[in-house]
Amino acid sequence: MIPTPLPFETDLHEMEHSLARLEAAHGDADELKRVRYELNALKKATYARLSPWDTVLVARHPNRPQTCDYIDTLFDEFVELHGDRAFGDDRAIRTGFARLDGIKVMLVGHQKGKTLAERQQCFYGCAHPEGYRKALSKMKLAAKFRVPVVCLIDTPGAYPGIGAEERGQSQLIATSILEMSQLPTPVVCVVIGEGGSGGALGIGVGDRVSMLQHAYYSVISPEGCAGILWKVADDKTKPRAAEALKLTADHLLRHGVIDDIIPEPLGGAHRQPKEMANTLRAHLVRQLRELADVPVPDLLQRRYEKFRKMGPYLEQ
Amino acid sequence: MSSMSQLDRPSKRGIPEGLWLRCPTCRATVFKKDVESRLNVCPECDHHFPVSARRRLDQLLDENSFEEWDATLKPMDPLGFVDDKPYAQRILDQQKKTGMNDAAVCGAGFIRGRGVVIGITDFAFMAGSMGAVVGEKLSRAAERATEQRRPLIFVSGSGGGARMQEGILSLMQMAKVSAALARYHAAGGLYVCILTHPTMGGVAASWAFQGDVTIAEPKAMIGFAGARTIKNTIRLELPDGFQTSEFLLKHGFVDRVVHRRDIRTEVSRLIDYCDIR
Ligand SMILES: [Zn+2]
């Protein structure tokens, strides 16, 4: 399937279509080979020079694999657990037991939705307080039985609404961050698409934090930043904000905020979702195995030091 | 960061600035000295004016009991952030304007004879936002309170929360301070957080709501998302009193709304209730 084109992909999109036409018509073998070769080169060139704003668009691509896609393709089993024990089931965060490569895990992941109906049900991946309550309660369940936790982060941000404030959005995120810093079981976090501010960090405190190559992770959305700095978020200011915020994986790695960048298939995860799932699976298995035998006190000490040293300052 | 509406803004209409203040709540013109002698509270209507960290220390702690920690910590510009002026320049301007190195003041002191560790964020320095220096100072305060087995008091006056100009590193300060507070809690310490106007965003979603007891000054603006963001998302008018201290009290996220003059008494009483020695 040819994905919906992004603004910087017009040439790429055209060539993908001509290749599809050629394939459908069983065209000349040499011609096919040439077009495939050219398409590959164009993908490489296009994706080698993504601007930070282009990266944000890739991270938000409607065909980009989401938590539920990975549940289907990457995990061998998923036993969803819905209850937050207080208010209701927030569909913007999915939680449950899962298996991969024989390893039992607790999976916690944002879900943005694919169809309009699903998107509305998931509030476009913007969780409410009950979502963070559910996530934390399942992480504690996992810790009780020494099951490691896998968090897949993909949210524009926690939901900004009246109900969310009435039900303590700040309180629930604050509690989740605090408890995750001490959760006595391995925690592996991956930003698979959008890492939107406190809504992302609410399930983002782990022993390992990684990003897919074209994901972004930021203190504020480029739109929000542009609105504050230049009063309007438009086609000029959003790319400027994305640039200023240094929200791409390479910057986060350099600043020590993430441990790894997980490479995406050529042309982005949305072009080869199966290949993406395989890469992510191998990554998770490796990290889970690395952490499996670390005694809990050491694990917690290292997790503490990991976050404790973030952010440079001068001291005389 | 965008919706701080009710700040101290003396009217320009013929009132000599410096001597008089116009109260944004009751609109009365009040003698500045009267306001200051009442802990920066309006004598007419009890409106709580913003207070600098230094004045707050004077108001909260026993006289001359404050010993400041980590005063030499200074911010850096890790991203090379530039908007209408470079962040590096903004830091220098703010330091000159406020006489502070960054937005937090931390140290040890006494409240009615009870030893405490205290941390305060000051709205005057970049809206009290949390970058690496604020995160580091609060984390060290929590760690020393753990070692010294002293009650920990944080006062937030922190506007938009995380400091955008330090990007993702400011978001990580939420995790850093929270981790230090988690250890403090695990060691059995009493943490009282006092929320003042305004407490929003990344500060609200971390240390402001991790206390054993959460106190708020009357009518402070407290919440996660800014009112404008919420309005733009839901396209509805927000109810009266939305995201105020009283709103949070009603919904169960604040323990007590306390007049500024009573905070000393209330905090020392809480310390006594939680003293197990
Ligand atoms: Zn008044």
Residue B6 has pLDDT above 60, yes or no: no
Q: Please determine, for residue B96, whether its predicted confidence score (pLDDT) is greater than 80.
A: yes
Q: Which residues of B171-207 are buried (b: 16+ CB within 10 A; e: fewer)?
A: bbbbbbbbbbbbbbbeeebbbbbbbbbbbbbbbbbbb
On whether both A70 and A99 belong to a single domain, the answer is yes
Residue A80 C-alpha, separation from nearest chain B C-alpha, in angstroms: 27
Residues A133 and A209 both lie in one domain: yes
Chain B stretch 225-254, residues whose beta carbon is closer than 8 A to a beta carbon of chain A = 225-226, 229-230, 233-234, 236, 238-239, 242-243, 247, 251-253
**Does residue B18 sit in the same domain as residue B102?**
no
Q: How many domains in chain A?
A: 2
Residues A157 and A36 in one domain: no
Q: Is residue B3 included in any domain, yes or no?
A: no
- Spatial distance between the Cα atoms of B119 and A35, rounded to a whole number of angstroms: 64
Option in A164, A170, A197 nearest B171 (CB):
A197
Comparing A49-58, B1-10, B204-213, the range with the smallest average pLDDT is B1-10
Q: What is the pLDDT of residues B231-250, one digit of tens each?
A: 988 999 999 999 999 999 99
**Distance between B35 CA and the closest CA of chain A, angstroms:** 32
Report the length, in residues, of chain B: 277
Spatial distance between the Cα atoms of A272 and A65, rounded to a whole number of angstroms: 9
Query: Are A164 and A17 within one domain?
Result: no
**B229 assigned to some structural domain:** yes
Residue A263: inside a domain: yes
At residue B11 the predicted structure's pLDDT band, cuts being 50, 70 and 90, is: very low
Determine whether the interchain pair B167/A312 forms a contact, defined as Cβ–Cβ distance below 8 Å: no
Note whether B194 and B246 are same-domain residues: yes
Q: What range does the domain containing A17 cover? A: 9-49
Query: What's the number of domains chain B is made of?
Result: 2
Q: Are residues A191 and A255 in the same domain?
A: yes
| CATH assignment at residue B214 | 3.90.226.10
For residue A105, is it within any domain? yes
Does B171 contact A229 at a Cβ distance shorter than 8 Å?
no
pLDDT in tens, B119-177: 999 999 999 999 999 999 999 999 999 999 999 999 998 887 999 999 999 999 999 99
Q: Is residue B163 domain-shared with residue B239, that is, in the same domain?
A: yes
Task: Assess if residue B204 is contained within a domain.
Answer: yes
Q: Which residues of chain A lie closer than 8 angstroms to B91, CB-CB?
A: none
CA nearest to A226 within chain B:
B83
Residues B150 and B41 in one domain: no
Chain A residue closest in CA terms to B178: A178
The residue ranking higher by pLDDT, B225 or B6, is B225
Q: Are residues B89 and B194 in the same domain?
A: yes
Scanning the structure block, which residue is given the tokens 């006092």?
Answer: B194
A1 occurs within a structural domain: no
What pLDDT is attached to residue B1? Answer: 36
Report if residue A177 sits inside a domain.
Answer: yes
| CATH of residue A228 | 3.90.226.10
Interchain CB contact of A5 with B (< 8 Å): no
In contact, B70 and B106? CB cutoff 8 Å: yes
Mean pLDDT of the region A136-151? 98
B184 falls within a domain: yes
CA of B219 to the centre of ligand 1 (A): 12
Confidence band for B178, pLDDT divided at 50, 70 and 90: very high
DSSP string, B161-229: SB-GGGHHHHHHHHHHHHHHHHHHHHTT--EEEEE-S-EEHHHHTTGGG--SEEEE-TT-BEESS-HHH
pLDDT, tens digit (0-9, with 9 covering 90-100), for A209-223: 999 999 999 999 999
Whether residue A139 has pLDDT greater than 60: yes
Q: Flag whether the ipTM exceeds 0.90.
A: yes
Do B169 and B262 sit in the same domain of this protein?
yes
Residue B275: per-residue pLDDT: 87
User: Is the CB of B253 less than 8 angstroms away from the CB of A202?
Assistant: no
| Owning domain of residue B231 | 50-274
